[in-house]
């Protein structure tokens, strides 16, 4: 049988989700926990390869097993062997052809900017601090230019190994609460560092440090015309979306309430 799980994590102290040599990742922690409760080496599939320092509120992973445990025992068993910064939330039995990554039809990310002259002392691990006053109306207008199927070559990391820079952004949203600016993207997929480069570019434009608009930068298809890559600290993976037959619903989270802003 194949089991799928949702989990959340504070990515501050990890080198991303995907397993790597000589460093600690989220995947390593999960697979170590699974080995302790199953006595087997289990490799998991996962829905999003978040970078070092990036957080998640509804990551999805799955694996195949012949071990029978009730849902509560699976969740409690895994969580009891995970660091306090990682937590499994839900479990669901899925079809044998389900794959956390390849079955996903959408992915959703949110980025948090703290716009104030004063340092966000107690939430600095979860936001990008920008001292300069940002033009919110300009950011909203520029943000909409990302919508649709486009070539995002200007907004991918120089080390990105994806052969197809064309992605489709289905929805964008900007919300504010006190000094927090929350920017959300929903797309079929994202390139390496794509969200963080889009955010960095919007910040530069909103500070009048980049005189080009988003459409001009997209047309250039050249990373050098986009802005700086925004820090990983402000980025949250809100989770993937699947077709109804997979019955996995990554819950919509009120991130302001979640982080007690």
H/E stretch holding 55? strand 55-64
Its pTM stands at 0.94
**What is residue 209's predicted lDDT score, i.e. its pLDDT?**
84
Kindly state whether residues 30 and 128 are assigned to the same domain: no
**Residue in the structure block whose two tokens are 């007690």:** 260
**What is residue 258's predicted lDDT score, i.e. its pLDDT?**
66
Task: Please tell me the distance from the alpha carbon of residue 204 to that of residue 207, in angstroms, as a whole number.
Answer: 5
For residue 209, is it within any domain? yes
Task: Calculate mean pLDDT across residues 47-58.
Answer: 94
Buried b (16+ CB within 10 A) or exposed e, 139-178: beebbebbeeebebbbbbbeebeeeebebebeebebeeee
Kindly state whether residues 114 and 153 are assigned to the same domain: yes
**What is residue 252's predicted lDDT score, i.e. its pLDDT?**
59
pLDDT digits (tens, 9 = 90+) for 60-89: 999 999 999 999 999 999 999 999 999 999
Kindly state whether residues 83 and 146 are assigned to the same domain: no
**What is residue 220's predicted lDDT score, i.e. its pLDDT?**
96
In the annotation, is 13 catalytic? no
Catalytic residue chosen out of the listed positions 28, 32, 51, 124:
51
Kindly state whether residues 123 and 228 are assigned to the same domain: yes
For residue 236, give both structure tokens: 């949250």
For residue 258, is it within any domain? no
Domain that holds residue 164: 106-237
pLDDT digits (tens, 9 = 90+) for 103-137: 999 999 999 999 999 999 999 999 999 999 999 99
Task: Please tell me the distance from the alpha carbon of residue 226 to that of residue 55, in angstroms, as a whole number.
Answer: 24
Kindly state whether residues 59 and 115 are assigned to the same domain: no
What are the beta bridge partners of residue 184?
A: 110, 173
- Say whether pLDDT at 254 is over 70: no
Task: Please tell me the distance from the alpha carbon of residue 214 to that of residue 152, in angstroms, as a whole number.
Answer: 11
Burial class (CB in 10 A: 0-12, 13-18, 19+), 118: exposed
**Residue 157 maps to which CATH number?**
3.30.70.660
**What is residue 256's predicted lDDT score, i.e. its pLDDT?**
67
**Residue in the structure block whose two tokens are 């820079």:** 165
**What is residue 181's predicted lDDT score, i.e. its pLDDT?**
97
* Closest residue by Cα to residue 52 from 13, 82, 110: 13
Residues 6+ apart with CB under 8 A from 85: 9, 10, 12, 13, 14
Q: How confident is the model at residue 235 (pLDDT cuts 50, 70, 90)?
A: very high
pLDDT digits (tens, 9 = 90+) for 186-202: 999 999 999 999 999 99
């Amino acid at each position: 049988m194949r089991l799928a799980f949702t989990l959340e994590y504070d990515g501050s102290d990890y080198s991303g989700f995907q397993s790597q040599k000589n460093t600690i990742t989220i995947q390593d922690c999960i697979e170590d926990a699974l080995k302790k409760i199953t006595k087997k080496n289990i490799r998991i599939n996962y829905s999003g390869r978040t970078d070092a320092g990036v957080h998640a509120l509804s990551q999805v992973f799955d694996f195949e097993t012949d071990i029978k445990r009730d849902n509560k025992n699976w969740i409690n068993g895994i969580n009891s062997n995970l660091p306090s910064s990682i937590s499994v939330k839900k479990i669901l039995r899925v079809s044998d052809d389900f794959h956390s990554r390849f079955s996903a039809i959408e992915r959703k990310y949110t980025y948090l900017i703290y716009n104030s002259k004063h340092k966000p002392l107690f939430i600095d691990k979860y936001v990008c601090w920008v001292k300069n006053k940002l033009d919110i109306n300009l950011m909203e207008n520029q943000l909409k230019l990302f919508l649709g199927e486009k070539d995002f070559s200007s907004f991918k990391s120089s080390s990105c190994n994806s052969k197809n820079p064309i992605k489709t952004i289905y929805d964008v949203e900007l919300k504010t609460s006190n000094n927090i600016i929350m920017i959300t993207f929903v797309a079929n997929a994202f390139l390496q560092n794509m969200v963080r480069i889009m955010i960095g570019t919007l910040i530069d434009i909103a500070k009048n440090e980049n005189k080009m608009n988003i459409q001009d930068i997209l047309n250039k298809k050249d990373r050098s015309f986009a802005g700086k890559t925004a820090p990983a600290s402000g980025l949250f993976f809100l989770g993937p979306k699947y077709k109804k037959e997979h019955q996995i619903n990554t819950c919509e989270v009120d991130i302001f309430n979640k982080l007690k802003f």
